[in-house]
Amino acid sequence: MTDAFDIGPAPLAQTDSTTPFSAAADVRRLTQSLWSSALVQAAVDLRLADLVGEGAVRLADLAEAAGAEPAALRRLLRALSAHGVFRRTGDDEYAHTPFSRCLASDAPGSVAHLVGLAGSDWTWTVWHRLADTVRTGEPAFRTAFGKDVYRYFAEDDPQAGAVFNRAMVESARWTSGPVLDALDLTGTGTVADVAGGSGSLLRLLLERHPKVSGVLIDAEQVLGQAEPALTQGPLAARCSLVPADIRKELPVAADLYLMRQVMHIWNDEECVQVLSHCASAAPPGARIVVVEHLLADGPRRDSTFSSLLDVQMMLLGTGRERTEREFAALFEAAGLRYEGVTRIPSPLQLITARAPG
Ligand SMILES: C[S@@+](CC[C@H](N)C(=O)[O-])C[C@H]1O[C@@H](n2cnc3c(N)ncnc32)[C@H](O)[C@@H]1O
């Protein structure tokens, strides 16, 4: 299945029929993607996409609105335009392109917050230390900042934490529709969204299924930022919020347990711990659906996106992406019966197990 987030066949996988010179040019281009990423990050930092309106805008006006030095901004826009992000419509006049529109904060399908996350200082710090992490096996985040990422956000840099959370909400929008399209809720009374964050997936699920009740489980401080629609208005009567540290307990009985992008923040031992709590709480036959990226079992090539995310998890902490076989082993180790994978048109896939009985 095509991964919408894949950046296409890796140039290095295609070098068989090319000359050494074009292979070197491909590697060089791959390396320069760091610069290209920085261009887009600067455009978002300067809010250029929000400041360019429907028509063309003059450089001097854009520079004033962005608080930028005009000659430097011209050079940034030249490089962005070369990538198809904004286009020059005349001497010192620029307009939107489809690429630049996605950077506007209010655009449908905006990726502005995800770009902001890629441009966070800590992101550059940890990626810069990748070789050290590969040498030592130590997550670069812990080496650089002395603590794990969620504690760092809470104790040292709530602003970076807010950027991260906004990016997660933006990213979730890409996958919620396909996940919910694929979930058959016939005969399902209660759905628990385990480590569900602000509850955006649960809200959409409850809107679609008026007879289903929902439970949002996460850390107490995260539940404090739950979507207002879950705590007030018509959905509130069908939804409860349960604070829990799911590494210690999962105190909720439900017909379906959803865990989207939760397993990938932990190592195998930690995952089995959480899934075992789930197995203890689940009524016989209850469904557990883990929603995660899948790495390839065997010699199949991985998508660039899933494999990059796996490296990001290695830089951040104990987490990782996994193959189907690895997920099946986690379920079995936790006393759950593995059922299989449902492929959906999304970078994430549904991996299902059942409580025994
Ligand atoms: C990557 S986010 C995924 C959020 C949500 N499932 C989604 O798809 O939008 C991981 C979530 O796990 C929660 N989490 C991490 N450790 C936890 C713990 N020990 N107990 C409960 N929740 C936890 C975090 O607060 C965060 O909301």
| pLDDT tens for each residue of 122-134 | 999 999 999 999 9
Is 113 catalytic? The answer is: no
Q: How confident is the model at residue 13 (pLDDT cuts 50, 70, 90)?
A: low
With 90 as the cut, is the pLDDT of residue 194 above it? yes
CB 169 within 8 A of CB 190: no
C-alpha dist (Å) from residue 200 to 154, 180, 206: 21, 12, 10
If you average pLDDT over residues 195-224, what whole number do you get? Answer: 94
d(CA 271, CA 195): 13
Ligand 1, residues 201, 216, 218: which to mutate, most atoms within 8 A of Cβ? Answer: 218
With 70 as the cut, is the pLDDT of residue 18 above it? no
262 close to ligand 1 (CB < 6 Angstrom)? yes
> What local confidence, expressed as pLDDT, does residue 17 receive?
54
Let me know if 329 is exposed, middle or buried by CB neighbors in 10 A (0-12, 13-18, 19+).
middle
pTM for the complete prediction?
0.87
Contacts of 246 (CB under 8 A, 6+ apart): 194, 195, 217, 274, 277
Helix (H) or strand (E) holding 299: none
d(CA 330, CA 266): 12
With 80 as the cut, is the pLDDT of residue 5 above it? no
Q: How confident is the model at residue 1 (pLDDT cuts 50, 70, 90)?
A: very low
Q: Which residue has the higher pLDDT, 298 or 179?
A: 179
The residue whose CA is least distant from atom 8 of ligand 1 is 260
Q: Determine the 3-state secondary structure of 126 from DSSP.
A: helix
Mean pLDDT of the chain: 92
pLDDT above 70 as % of the chain: 95
> What local confidence, expressed as pLDDT, does residue 168 receive?
87
| Each residue's pLDDT tens digit, 254-297 | 999 999 999 999 999 999 999 999 999 999 999 999 999 999 98
Q: Which residue has the tokens 């887009």?
A: 40
With 70 as the cut, is the pLDDT of residue 22 above it? yes
Q: How confident is the model at residue 109 (pLDDT cuts 50, 70, 90)?
A: confident
> What local confidence, expressed as pLDDT, does residue 118 receive?
95
> What local confidence, expressed as pLDDT, does residue 301 receive?
86
> What local confidence, expressed as pLDDT, does residue 287 receive?
98
If you average pLDDT over residues 29-51, what whole number do you get? Answer: 96
d(CA 26, CA 29): 5
Q: How confident is the model at residue 20 (pLDDT cuts 50, 70, 90)?
A: confident
Ligand 1 nearest-atom number relative to CA 262 = 10
Ligand 1, residues 262, 269, 320: which to mutate, most atoms within 8 A of Cβ? Answer: 262
| Each residue's pLDDT tens digit, 92-106 | 999 999 999 999 999
66 close to ligand 1 (CB < 6 Angstrom)? no
- Tell me whether strands 213-218 and 190-194 are parallel, antiparallel or unpaired: parallel
CB 78 within 8 A of CB 72: no
Of 96, 113, 264, 277, the catalytic one is: 264
Residue 272 has a CB neighbour count (10 Å cut-off) of: 20
> What local confidence, expressed as pLDDT, does residue 347 receive?
87
Contacts of 273 (CB under 8 A, 6+ apart): 247
> What local confidence, expressed as pLDDT, does residue 162 receive?
87
If you average pLDDT over residues 56-76, what whole number do you get? Answer: 98
With 50 as the cut, is the pLDDT of residue 8 above it? no
The residue whose CA is least distant from atom 6 of ligand 1 is 196
Q: How confident is the model at residue 3 (pLDDT cuts 50, 70, 90)?
A: very low
Going from the Cα of 240 to the center of ligand 1, the distance in angstroms, rounded, reads 17
With 60 as the cut, is the pLDDT of residue 252 above it? yes
Q: How confident is the model at residue 19 (pLDDT cuts 50, 70, 90)?
A: confident
